Structures are given as structure tokens and as C-alpha cells.
Amino acid sequence: MKIKANISLRVTDIAHGSLRVPDSAHCNLHLPDSAHCNLRVPDSAHCNLRVPESAHCNLRVPDSAHCNLRVPVSSSPRHSLQTLALL
């Protein structure tokens, strides 16, 4: 079963989050400072992600996802972006 969702997420300060976005979801994610997040984005997802400084994020984005990522410039970035290919 596919879920079509329009999601707007605001995560509070010092949030420890595990976010799973359903298929065909349109997402606006606002992450505050000191947020520790694990984001899993499925196929056909349209995402606008804003990640502030001091955020620890692991992003997994599969093929055919449309994502705009805004990650601040830091002297010690702790961001990793993985693109998962569908075989």
C-alpha cells in the first residue's frame, strides 16, 4: 500500500529523531541546532531539507528522489549523504 502524504516537520532543539518518509511524500524538514537525525527517504519523495549547524545527520536518499538539501558550512562538518541505487 502506498501512502501519499504532505508533511511539514519541525524538530525541537536537542531532538533525537528517526524520521521515515512514506512513498510519494512531499516534505519540508526544519531541523534545529544540536539535532541528531537519521533520515530515510523512499522513492518518489520530494524533499526540502534544512539542516543547521551542530546537527548530526545521516541521510539515506534512494534513486528517483527529488531533494534540495541545505547544509550549513562548518569547520567540522558531521554530515554524510548516501544515495542508494535501486537494483
Q: What is the pLDDT of residues 12-52, one digit of tens each?
A: 655 666 777 777 778 787 777 777 777 777 777 788 877 77
Residues 8 and 25 sit within 8 Å (Cβ to Cβ):
no
More reliable by pLDDT, 7 or 78 = 7
Examine residue 41 and state whether it is found in any structural domain, yes or no.
yes
Examine residue 57 and state whether it is found in any structural domain, yes or no.
yes
Examine residue 82 and state whether it is found in any structural domain, yes or no.
no
How far is the C-alpha of 65 from the C-alpha of 86, rounded, in Å?
Answer: 11
Residue 27 has a pLDDT of 79
CA geometry: angle 36, 57, 48, nearest 5 deg? 110
How far is the C-alpha of 44 from the C-alpha of 61, rounded, in Å?
Answer: 10
Examine residue 30 and state whether it is found in any structural domain, yes or no.
yes
Strands (DSSP E) contained in 21-71 are 26-30, 36-40, 46-50, 56-62, 66-70
Examine residue 17 and state whether it is found in any structural domain, yes or no.
yes
